[in-house]
Structure 1
Amino acid sequence: MRTGKHGLMTAAVTVVCAVTVLAAPGTAFADPGPAPSPRAPGASSTASAPAATSDKDLEAVRKRLDEFYRTAASATEEYNAAEEKARKQSAEIVELAKKIVQGQETLDGLRDRAGAAARSQYRTGGLPDEARLVLSDDPEDFLDGTDRVIQGQRATKGLLGELTRAQEDLKAYTADASVQLKELEANRKAKATAQEKIEKQIAAAEKLESELEQEEKERLARLEREAQARAQTAWLGSGILEDLGTEATERGRKAVAYATAQVGKPYQWGAEGPKAYDCSGLTSQAWMSAGQAIPRTSQQQWKQLERVDIEDMRPGDLIIYFDDASHVGMYVGDGSVVHAPRPGRSITIAGAGSMPILGVVRPDTGTDTGTGTAPSE
């Protein structure tokens, strides 16, 4: 049965509305429920919090907090990846919806033309050629008419071919839209799962920190700084800084300038600025400001961008951290990175070796370096 344009437009609008609901970044999800009560390794299962009365106990708390925030960081990049895919799928579905509407309009027009051609051929071609020749007063007129009929038959055949192709295209567009909608729904579920994991881990970390006395929090912060300083000292002790160049490309300097200008702004998971950022949101937006589009997540930055040796890195390069590539910072020179650390912290300058380095990637593969050095603090 032939579909009217009104029904077709309604269907297309329904598709676009579905895309809007499934891909909306502000979609709320169910409360994941209370987070499990965290405890330091080795603590009693009946204890509500570790008794942080010594540096040894606080060190266990620090490691436990690192575990919570590391898990949250990994889940954040999972969320970002699902969000990025959903964004692209939404755009593709909208384009497919437009093609479906246009394809149906084309099909309707071809059907009208085919019907008119069939009616015309019926009116002029009802008798066999032999009978028409006998009844014709002028054989030449008959031959001219026959030629026109043949041309009309050829045109009709071509029209039917167009009609078939239009039907196949419309069927393909509809199938593609169905697949994209299913994938969009899968990504919506992946985002919801990642969000639940993020919120649980952050809630557990915040609960653990809230059970500490003020004096213990201050000692915990000191232990954290000392651990970072030890890691940075060991990294610099390898002589790495002596081998590093300081020149950056023009785009690299712009990216570094953007990233360092965000120092002091808060970390927020899933954020890409301008008021807050997560780690890969900061690096991707910094390079976007320099005119270079790069992948959104730290894992994709690690997979897709050119890898360089640490000894060859220059300001603007991205340092990927941890075995799962769940954190990223931008090298700014002098052995330092600018990065968005974790929830509850602000964007800051830190030692490039203060976290376990997985490797270095380069967004800008150009060789146009300037004479000055990139900004650093």
Structure 2
Amino acid sequence: MNRRRRAAAITVICALAVLASPSLTLRASAAPFPPPPPKKSLEEVRKEIDGLYRQAAVATDAYNLSEEKAKEQSSEIVRVNRLLTEGREKIAGLKVEAGAAARSQYRNGGLPEGAQLVLTNDPQLFLDAAGRIKESVKATKDLLAEMTRTQASLDVYAREASDHWSRLEANRVRQAGARKEINAKIAAAEKLESELAAEERERLRRLEELAQKEAQRNWLRAGALVGPKAEATEEGRRAVAFATAQIGKPYGWGDEGPDAFDCSGLTQSAWGAAGRGIPRTSQEQWRLLPRVDVKDMRPGDLIVYFADASHIGMYVGNGMIVHAPRPGRNITLAGAGSMEILGVVRPM
């Protein structure tokens, strides 16, 4: 019995010694967690933030285009509803005329005028009545034909109204999706920037400026402004005056003024103030407006940026543009070559 107790005690002591072994303790504490990712450089953060704001700009264009389409569909719905109302009123009037004809026949004892004509013995009455019958028959046919045409038009208008409502709802769905994407991209960019210390945020701003200045210097070295300078038209001068008067106002996605603008809202509003209507989005301005060579541009022309035409600014002369850069920034003057140029368009 004592032998068994001694053996059990030895077993417990050995187990405690094994558990207290440094090598086992070390292995137990070595949890399988991956090493923390290396901290991004400030330049990498800058590029990531720029990328997020570029994606937000693309989504903003999609939002603005959907909004324009929704406005068009709403206008069409108003127009078609007006036509439907007019058509219904016309049908009601034609029914009144048809009712009057039916009552006239009833007052004649239920006999049509043709039957009454056969019963008369007066030749002159016969001739007079024959003319009236011919006119009455034609009027009845015309009335029925007009009712048929009007009803057919009402059917067309009803189908158009339904189609416009479907398109309006589809554009609203697209707007909602674009709005969600814009807010998500801007929130992600703002989060990245907010995680930086105040000193790092200032350095980030300086990095942005340096990158833009370097791009502008390279653009000028390439000879972009070599050659005679084209003069602005009267409309171009008015557009430039409007755009430069907005300097210092904040960027606001989807905004067309007067207190805030997005990039294409600024260019559209400026040319609208000059008396020239242009499309709402930077992509549509690039797609639909006449293009000119960079060396031939003049103040008032619009410079489109990036391969996806997601940004636009107005050329004001001397190698400079005025533009609404991005959320968190104000409308400002910048080098025309400070971003990747896709091309130049000219409102005509």
Number of residues of Structure 1 aligned to a counterpart in Structure 2: 315
Counterpart check, 1:297 vs 2:281: yes
Partner of 2:153: 169
Mapped partners of 1:131, 1:197: distance in 2? 79
Higher Cα radius of gyration: 2
Large movers: runs of 4+ above 6 Å: 44-47
Deviation of 1:150 after TM superposition, in Å, equals: 1.6
**SS across alignment from 1:346:** coil
Q: Given the two structures, how large is their TM-score scaled by the length of structure 2?
A: 0.86
**SS across alignment from 2:226:** helix
Per-residue CA deviation, residues 202-230 of structure 1 (Å, 9 max, x unaligned), is 00000000101111111111211111111
Shift in CA distance, 102/152, structure 1 to aligned 2, threshold 3 Å: same
Counterpart check, 1:93 vs 2:81: no
Mapped partners of 2:149, 2:299: distance in 1? 54
Per-residue CA deviation, residues 69-119 of structure 1 (Å, 9 max, x unaligned), is 000000001100011111111111112111111110110110111222234
Deviation of 1:129 after TM superposition, in Å, equals: 5.3
Deviation of 1:152 after TM superposition, in Å, equals: 0.4
Partner of 1:154: 138
Partner of 2:184: 200
**SS across alignment from 1:341:** coil
**SS across alignment from 1:344:** coil
327, 330, 333: which is aligned to 1:346? 330
Mapped partners of 2:127, 2:267: distance in 1? 77
Partner of 1:51: 39
Counterpart check, 1:287 vs 2:275: no
Mapped partners of 1:98, 1:46: distance in 2? 68
Contact 1:244 1:313 in 2 (8 A): no
Counterpart check, 1:220 vs 2:208: no
Counterpart check, 1:253 vs 2:241: no
Shift in CA distance, 244/268, structure 1 to aligned 2, threshold 3 Å: farther
Partner of 2:247: 263
Mapped partners of 2:193, 2:303: distance in 1? 29
Partner of 1:68: 52
Contact 2:117 2:130 in 1 (8 A): no
Q: Given the two structures, how large is their TM-score scaled by the length of structure 1?
A: 0.80
Counterpart check, 1:116 vs 2:88: no
Give the fraction of aligned pairs with identical amino acids, expressed as a percent.
58
Shift in CA distance, 325/50, structure 1 to aligned 2, threshold 3 Å: farther
Partner of 1:126: 111
**SS across alignment from 1:242:** coil
Counterpart check, 1:332 vs 2:316: yes
Per-residue CA deviation, residues 109-150 of structure 1 (Å, 9 max, x unaligned), is 1011122223434655726957853x4231321232122112
Deviation of 1:264 after TM superposition, in Å, equals: 0.5
Shift in CA distance, 45/253, structure 1 to aligned 2, threshold 3 Å: farther
Deviation of 1:165 after TM superposition, in Å, equals: 1.0
Q: 5+ residue gaps in structure 1?
A: 1-43, 365-377
Contact 1:246 1:333 in 2 (8 A): no
Q: 5+ residue gaps in structure 2?
A: 1-32
**SS across alignment from 1:338:** strand
**Which of the two has greater helix per residue?**
2
**SS across alignment from 1:275:** coil
Mapped partners of 1:332, 1:276: distance in 2? 20
Contact 2:117 2:129 in 1 (8 A): no
Which amino acid letter does the alignment assign opposite residue 107 of structure 1?
I
Mapped partners of 1:226, 1:130: distance in 2? 100
Deviation of 1:232 after TM superposition, in Å, equals: 0.6
Shift in CA distance, 319/236, structure 1 to aligned 2, threshold 3 Å: same
